[in-house]
């Protein structure tokens, strides 16, 4: 009989930059306590006194005993960090649904769960929230000292191109892309009307290239 911890899983399909146990974002490294006792792989504990890991890392597989959205969010973040482009979810229905929503919102292809219309509506909302979060990086900071004024219109257009590239790469449905980008443009226009000064957002070139490759792969697969 399988251990309860093994029921809920996010598995790599074998594609990605890394399958190495313990290869996680720095933020998660600081958030969790880790050790290899109490089960297979590396356990991630939210508190030093807790006996059961929030999730365990087996390299190409992440497992958890619960359907906790916080644990699922962090498991999906690990998958994204390792460059997993396709994942398979197993386990309780609630776990599968939340894992599908969370990983899909991050741009991963998720197999193993059959989404409903309501699920797809929820995913669209999460993707829109993610796009708004990206757009908020455009918000101006008060100018101080001898800072040289920037052209808010020029910076705004440059930043909007970054937002558009991210949305086109990570959101598969074209009508959903258009709705998200329309909301982002309205928000940007509102900031500029209020006199906000925008700073250009710098995105590592490798990130833009990776999103562009993923976008082309999705288009070819349709």
Summarised one tens digit per residue, pLDDT across range 168-196 is 666 666 777 777 777 777 666 665 555 55
Q: Are residues 127 and 103 in the same domain?
A: no
**DSSP state, 59?**
S
CA dihedral for 124, 126, 131, 135, sign (positive or negative): positive
Residues 81 and 24 in one domain: yes
Same-domain check for residues 35 and 123 = no
Asked whether the predicted pLDDT for residue 148 surpasses 90, the reply is no
pTM of the model: 0.63
Which residues are 91's β-sheet partners?
A: none
How is residue 144 written in tokens? Answer: 């101080």
At residue 133, the pLDDT reads 78
Given 91, 111, 131, the domain boundary residue is 111
Regarding predicted confidence, which is higher, 172 or 17?
17
* 78 and 142 housed in the same domain: no
What's the DSSP call for residue 38? S
Same structural domain, 137 and 200:
yes
Residues 54 and 123 in one domain: no
Give CA–CA dist 160/146, Å, rounded: 27
Q: Which of 111, 146, 164 is the last residue of a domain?
A: 111
Q: Return d(Cα 96, Cα 66) in angstroms, integer.
A: 11
Same structural domain, 105 and 123: no
Residue of 86, 204, 187 whose CA lies nearest to 137: 187
Nearest to 10 by CA among 105, 111, 106, 93: 111
Do 157 and 126 share a domain, yes or no?
Answer: yes
One domain, residues 123 and 107: no
Domain that holds residue 103: 4-111
3-state secondary structure of 216: helix
67 or 172, greater pLDDT: 67
Instruction: Bin 70: left if φ > 0, else alpha if -120 < ψ < 50, else beta.
Output: alpha
pLDDT in tens, 20-40: 999 999 999 999 999 998 889
Residues 104 and 29 in one domain: yes
| Range scoring the smallest mean pLDDT among 108-122, 179-193, 207-221 | 207-221
Q: What is the DSSP letter of 204?
A: -
The DSSP code for 61 is E
Contacts of 111 (CB under 8 A, 6+ apart): 13, 86, 87, 88, 89
* 60 in the same domain as 121: no
184: how many CB neighbours lie within 10 A of its CB?
23
Residue that wins the pLDDT comparison between 86 and 129:
86
* Per-residue pLDDT band at 216 (split at 50, 70, 90): low
d(CA 206, CA 12): 22
């Amino acid at each position: 009989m399988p251990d309860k911890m093994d029921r809920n899983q996010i598995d790599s399909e074998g594609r990605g930059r890394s399958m190495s146990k313990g290869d996680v974002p720095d933020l998660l490294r600081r958030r969790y306590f880790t050790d290899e006792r109490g089960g297979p792989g590396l356990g991630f504990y939210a508190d030093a006194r807790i006996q059961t890991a929030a999730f365990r890392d087996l390299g190409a597989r992440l497992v958890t005993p619960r359907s906790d959205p916080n644990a699922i969010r962090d498991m999906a973040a690990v998958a994204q960090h390792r460059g997993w482009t396709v994942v398979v979810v197993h386990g309780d229905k609630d776990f599968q649904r939340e894992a599908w929503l969370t990983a899909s919102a991050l741009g991963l292809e998720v197999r193993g769960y059959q989404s409903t219309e309501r699920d797809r509506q929820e995913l669209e909302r999460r993707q829109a929230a993610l796009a708004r979060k990206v757009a908020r990086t455009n918000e101006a900071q008060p100018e101080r000292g001898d800072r040289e004024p920037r052209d808010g219109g020029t910076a705004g257009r440059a930043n909007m191109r970054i937002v558009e590239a991210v949305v086109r790469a990570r959101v598969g449905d074209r009508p959903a892309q258009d709705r998200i980008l329309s909301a982002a443009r309205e928000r940007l226009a509102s900031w500029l009307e209020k006199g906000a000064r925008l700073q250009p957002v710098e995105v590592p070139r490798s990130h833009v290239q990776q999103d562009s490759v993923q976008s082309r792969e999705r288009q070819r697969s349709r």
